[in-house]
Amino acid sequence: MTLCDVLAKPFESKEMKPTIARPDESKEFATAERCSILEVWNNSSDPAASIARARVAPGITTQPHRLHGVVERYLIIEGSGFVRVGDSIEQAVAPGDIVVIPAEVTQQITNPGDSDLVFYCVCSPRFTPECYESLE
């Protein structure tokens, strides 16, 4: 057994099948967090990860929050902004940047621009509403 086999063991799923997911743009929804979310991939057959697209409108700062037991990564794809993770100072983000947010750590992102700030949220294990805690 290889190290990869050992690490993958907790995430094995007999239900998982090869898949190409095409998100339905009409399913994007507004959140109390002050951003819009489109679930790209969040399926119980793949407990190891979920992927959502987040959209923050110009002039908006998301509410401070944290995820319990879930590591989140932002991949910025459009626009620019400022992110605060934990006790760090705000840092500028732009397309291509990746922000790594450990579990239990406060996070917040601001869009000071005049167009949407868009990024993918990659969570592991997968995001469920129960892991979310608003800090407002």
Note whether residue 21 is domain-resident.
Answer: no
2 domain-assigned: no
Asked, for residue 10, whether it belongs to a domain, the answer is no
Residue 116 lies in a domain: yes
Domain count, the chain: 1
Question: Is residue 20 assigned to a domain?
Answer: no
Q: What is the pLDDT of residues 32-52, one digit of tens each?
A: 999 999 999 999 989 999 999
- 5 found inside a domain: no
Q: What is the pLDDT of residue 22?
A: 94
pLDDT value at 5 more than 90: no
Q: Is residue 13 part of a domain?
A: no
* 9-18, 65-74, 79-88, 89-98, range with the lowest pLDDT: 9-18
**Is it the case that residue 88 has pLDDT exceeding 90?**
yes
Query: For residue 90, is it within any domain?
Result: yes
Structural domain harbouring 33: 27-134
Mean pLDDT, residues 57-65: 98
Structure tokens that stand for 50 in this block: 């979920």
Q: pLDDT band at 18, cuts 50/70/90?
A: confident
Given a cut of 70, whether residue 131 has pLDDT beyond it is yes
> Across the strands, what pairs with 78?
118
- Is residue 2 scored above 80 in pLDDT? no
Mean pLDDT, the chain, as a whole number? 92
- Averaged pLDDT for residues 13-36: 89
Residue 128's CATH number: 2.60.120.10
